[in-house]
Structure 1
Amino acid sequence: MEAKKTPAADLTKKTGMFMNFGLAISVGLVLFAFEYKSYDRGDLKDLGQVTDTFEELLDIPITEQPPPPPPPIEQPIIQEIPDEVEIEEKIEVNFDLDVKEDMVIKEVIIADAPVVEKADEIFDVVENAPMPPGGMEGWNQYLSKNLKYPTQARRMGIEGTVYVVFVVNTDGSIQDAAILRGIGGGCDEEALRVVANAPKWEPGKQRGRPVRVRMRLPIRFKLG
């Protein structure tokens, strides 16, 4: 059997009122705490009779120091130099030579020092170049008569120009023949043989004297 309560004993009806009442009290305490002010009630000191010297200390006259004087400028010392005195000296020259009127004085001619040429020096460029017998036309005739086309070069179809370098001595003889650029196939050896067996050339000359000259000549091989 359930227990029954009287409406007067039901406490839940007044919970809202109590809740609002407690909230109002808490808010009031918080506001009181923020608005509460405390004051220091210590004995106040009377500073009106204290003599101070602040104004006297602050009222200090400003002393102005004049700028330092500029350093003295040293003036250059001007010295008077007396005019140069020309001194005339008498020079006595005594000639002990007995010069006759018919004496002829030879004029001295200063010539350039002779150029000393070394005997073994080889020139590349000279005033008068070496020439083969009969000139270049005679050289071409010599080649056409003595130059033989190598069998290997003919068989391989090699043709072209062989460049030979050699030295023409002061007596016209030829030495130090070498290949400057060859084509192979036996043509290089044939060109050296023809040059080495060539007759003597007319030597080159420098200042009228025969000198050794290095020559470079082409020898052409062409299949007929």
Structure 2
Amino acid sequence: MDAQEILKADLDDLVFEGKNKSYGAYELRKKYGRHIMIALLISVGFYITAFVTPYLFALMKPDPVVVAKKEIKYTELSEPPPIDKNTPPPPPPDLPPPPPKTIKFTPPVIKPDELVKEEDVPPPIEEMQQAEISTVDVDADATYDFSAETQVVEEKAPEIFMYVEQMPEFPGGQAELLKYLQKNLRYPAAARENGIEGKVVLQFVVDEGGKISEIQTVRDIGGGCAEESIRVVRSMPPWKPGKQNGNAVKVYFKLPVTFKLGTE
């Protein structure tokens, strides 16, 4: 390549001078700029499409329907008239008088002497003169059924609350309760041998005096853990009872007891 050709030649011609240009590398380097320009145009077109598409969708979307807000009109009520404490209460309504009490008159019946019973014979005049006159009217036709059973009113059992204003509490609080469980709880042998661990949940009632009763197992993990938890709860001292409106009441209480291997 002479000096005149060198001035007109590009870098690829100089690099591949005297080499096999038909191998393919020469063609790739010659078209490299064109490929870059095509890739740049495709990228620019993709980004423009990505940004313009949402805007076109927004233009095609119909305008939202504006719902008019309803106006709420408030009517101001006038203040009630003051109450005069000196005004006497209105008189009671006129009620019709109660109907007068009447006693049924039994007309006398004439019977033969042999049909007259002793209890039907009127008392002699001497006894009637000595008797006192009663002021109570007795209905001769009134009857009373003595066979009817007397209704017995049963005393309603006190209500057991689930939640109250002041829940029951172990003496000394939550910290003392945990100490009591750690001190008295023993890991059952069956649970230890079978690798059982977890949480047992008990439910019981704390009455007005703080005594525990009606112990039930809500959740059991087996291995005798529930039985051991019930034993420890039964041995607890009286709790501080729950209160509702300042009064001690019966309350349900749920107690979780955790069993973990490596601890007693």
- TM-score, L = length of structure 2: 0.40
Identify, as 1 or 2, the structure richer in helix.
2
Q: Which has the higher contact order (CA 8 A, sep 6+)?
A: 1
- Under a length normalisation based on structure 1, what TM-score does the superposition of the two structures give? 0.47
